C-alpha cells in the first residue's frame, strides 16, 4: 500500500495520531522500517495523566478566570447603494465572437441585466449561434439585450440596418414586426400570391351558383313585372277610363246645351247618349261602335252598329238596342249587371229624350258567337213579338272573356227632356 493512512491510537495517546514516513514499508505492528522505534505503552496513572494533560484529572481544581464585561451596542454603518451605470447610447456595441474570458473593449459600456432578471427566476437565453461567447456572462447579457432591442441575433452593422428598417418601415410606412415577435391584436399576416389566388378562386361562385342566381333574378323580375301589370290592369286602367268617360259625358252634355250636336248618324267612337243604371250607380256615355281601343277601353259603352251586328237606335219604333261594355278593368261599367232584378230601371238619355227600360230577363252564360241575342226579337229573352228592347252584353266569369252574360230590358217610358228627368232618375 502506497497511500498515506493514519496510525492506530494507543491507550496512552488519547486520540493522538502519528504518520509514517512516506514511501516506507510498514508492518501490522504499526512500526515502520528505518524509523524510530515505537514507544512502549505505559500503565495508566493519575500522575502521568496530569503531566501529559495539564488541567486534566489529577491536576489543580478549576478556578474561573475573569469574565469579559459586555460592551454597549453600537450601530454599524450600512453600505450605501451605488448607482447602476447606464449604457452609453453612442458607444459601439460589443461585437460577438470575443470568446470566453475576453475583456470588454475600450468604450464598451457594461449593460447590467434587466430588473426582472435579477429578482426572479428565468429561463436562460439559448447559446448564440454566430460565435458569441456563451460562457461569458457579460458578453451573453449584452448580446441578449442587443437581440431583444434590435430583433437580430447578430450585432453587425448590416443587422442594425435591417432592424432599423423593420422598426421604421422600408419607405417610412408602418413598421414590420420582427421575427418571433407576438402579433398585435387584430393584425393579420400578409398572404402570399398563391394563397391570395387560391382564396379568390374559393370566393368565386361556381356554375351552379351563377345559374341559380340568374334563374332567381329572372323569377324576381318576372314577378315584379306581373305585379306591375296586374296593378296596371286592375287599378290604373280604371282610373284612366273613369277620367276619360267623365270628360266625354261632360263634353256631351255641354254640346247638347249649346246645340253643337244634332241627332242623326254618328261616326265610330263618337258619343251620342248617356246610360243610367240607378241601382248600380252607373252613369256612362254611349259611343258609336264596339271598338276596344276607341270605345270600350276608354270607359264608355259601345253600340252594336257595324255589319251583321247592327242594332236599332232607341228612337226607332221597333227593334233591339244592343250595348257592350267591360265587366272588369277599363272603367268596368257592367261589372255588377248580374245583380239586376226584373223591374229595375235602365235609362238612356239622348239630346232630346229620356228612354226608360225595365229589366226583364238575364242569360248568365252563353257563347261569344251567339249573336242571336241581338236579334230584333232576341232569342232566349222570353220576348215573342216585335217591340222596343235593350240588350246589355259583357264578359263572364270575371277577369276572363271565355263566355258572355246577357241582360234584356223592355221600354216602358219615353219622356222628352223638356219635361224634366223621369221618376227613375229622380227617386
Q: Known catalytic residues? A: 326, 395, 404
Whole-angstrom CA distances from 221 to 53, 133, 233, 333, 426 are 128, 78, 18, 33, 52
354 CB-side CA count, 13 A:
19
Q: What value does the CA radius of gyration of the chain take, rounded to a whole number of Å?
A: 66
Q: Give the span between the Cα atoms of 63 and 299, in whole angstroms.
A: 153
Residue whose C-alpha is closest to residue 394's, from 407, 377, 408: 407
Cell reading at 2: 502506497
Find where cell 399576416 sits: 189
Q: Give the span between the Cα atoms of 359 and 72, in whole angstroms.
A: 145
Which of 371-408 are b and which e, b meaning 16 or more Cβ less than 10 Å from the residue's Cβ? eebbbeebeebebeeeebbbbbbbbbeeeeeeebbbbb
Cell reading at 202: 374559393
Cell reading at 302: 259601345
Give the pairing type, strands 353-366 and 301-303. Answer: unpaired
Amino acid at each position: 500500500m502506497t497511500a498515506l493512512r493514519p496510525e492506530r491510537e494507543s491507550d496512552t495517546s488519547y486520540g493522538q495520531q502519528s504518520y509514517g514516513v512516506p514511501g516506507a514499508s510498514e508492518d501490522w505492528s504499526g512500526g515502520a522500517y528505518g524509523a524510530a522505534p515505537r514507544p512502549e505503552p505505559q500503565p495508566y496513572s493519575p500522575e502521568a495523566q496530569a503531566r501529559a494533560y495539564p488541567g486534566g484529572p489529577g491536576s489543580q481544581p478549576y478556578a474561573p478566570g475573569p469574565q469579559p464585561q459586555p460592551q454597549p451596542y453600537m450601530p454599524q454603518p450600512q453600505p450605501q447603494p451605488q448607482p447602476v451605470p447606464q449604457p452609453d447610447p453612442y458607444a459601439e456595441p460589443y461585437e460577438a465572437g470575443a470568446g470566453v474570458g475576453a475583456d470588454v473593449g475600450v468604450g464598451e459600456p457594461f449593460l447590467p441585466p434587466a430588473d426582472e432578471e435579477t429578482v426572479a427566476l428565468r429561463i436562460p437565453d439559448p447559446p448564440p449561434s454566430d460565435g458569441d461567447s456563451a460562457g461569458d456572462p457579460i458578453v451573453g447579457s449584452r448580446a441578449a439585450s442587443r437581440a431583444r432591442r434590435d430583433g437580430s441575433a447578430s450585432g453587425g452593422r448590416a443587422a442594425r440596418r435591417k432592424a432599423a428598417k423593420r422598426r421604421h418601415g422600408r419607405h417610412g410606412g408602418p413598421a414590420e414586426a420582427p421575427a418571433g415577435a407576438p402579433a398585435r391584436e387584430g393584425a393579420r399576416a400578409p398572404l402570399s400570391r398563391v394563397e391570395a389566388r387560391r382564396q379568390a378562386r374559393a370566393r368565386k361562385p361556381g356554375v351552379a351558383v351563377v345559374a341559380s342566381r340568374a334563374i332567381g333574378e329572372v323569377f324576381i323580375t318576372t314577378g315584379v313585372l306581373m305585379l306591375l301589370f296586374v296593378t296596371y290592369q286592375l287599378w290604373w286602367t280604371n282610373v284612366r277610363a273613369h277620367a276619360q268617360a267623365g270628360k266625354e259625358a261632360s263634353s256631351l252634355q255641354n254640346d247638347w246645351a249649346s246645340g253643337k250636336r244634332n241627332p242623326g248618324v254618328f261616326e265610330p267612337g263618337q258619343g251620342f247618349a248617356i246610360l243610367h243604371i240607378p241601382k248600380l250607380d252607373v252613369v256612362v256615355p254611349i259611343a258609336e261602335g264596339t271598338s276596344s281601343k276607341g270605345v270600350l277601353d276608354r270607359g264608355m259603352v259601345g253600340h252594336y252598329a257595324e255589319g251583321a251586328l247592327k242594332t236599332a237606335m232607341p228612337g226607332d219604333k221597333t227593334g233591339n238596342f244592343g250595348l257592350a261594355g267591360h265587366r272588369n278593368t277599363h272603367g268596368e261599367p257592367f261589372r255588377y249587371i248580374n245583380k239586376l232584378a226584373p223591374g229595375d230601371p235602365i235609362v238612356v238619355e239622348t239630346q232630346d229624350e229620356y228612354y226608360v227600360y225595365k229589366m226583364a230577363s238575364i242569360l248568365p252564360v252563353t257563347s261569344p258567337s251567339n249573336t242571336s241575342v241581338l236579334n230584333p226579337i232576341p232569342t232566349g229573352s222570353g220576348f215573342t213579338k216585335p217591340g222596343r228592347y235593350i240588350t246589355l252584353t259583357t264578359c263572364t266569369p270575371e277577369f276572363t272573356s271565355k263566355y258572355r252574360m246577357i241582360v234584356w230590358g223592355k221600354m216602358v217610358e219615353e219622356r222628352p227632356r223638356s219635361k224634366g228627368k223621369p221618376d227613375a232618375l229622380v227617386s
